């Protein structure tokens, strides 16, 4: 899951996420890398659509800040 956030008209910040299940499967470092790859994939799509690269910022939040809570059983 990658969440694009428009901060202002000059910049776009894209935050990649994973969930707790992915973090458990991949480990902390693997989940972080996955969240970064998700954000980078969105960045590439925006560049292909004509958004200037210098206006795009990405980060990965892994499961530290999940966009969707994981149900616990």
Gyration radius of the chain's alpha carbons: 13
d(CA 31, CA 56): 22
pTM, full prediction:
0.75
70: DSSP letter:
P
pLDDT of the residue at 21: 82
Determine contact, residues 31/22, Cβ cutoff 8 Å: yes
Each of the 73 residues of the chain gets a pLDDT tens digit; together they read: 555 555 566 888 899 988 888 878 888 889 899 999 999 999 999 999 999 999 999 999 886 766 666 655 4
pLDDT of the residue at 73: 45
């Amino acid at each position: 899951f990658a969440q694009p956030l428009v901060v202002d008209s000059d910049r776009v910040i894209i935050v990649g996420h994973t969930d707790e299940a992915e973090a458990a499967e991949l480990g902390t470092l693997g989940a972080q890398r996955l969240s970064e790859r998700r954000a980078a994939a969105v960045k590439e799509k925006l560049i292909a659509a004509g958004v200037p690269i210098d206006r795009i910022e990405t980060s990965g939040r892994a499961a530290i800040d999940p966009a969707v809570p994981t149900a616990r059983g």
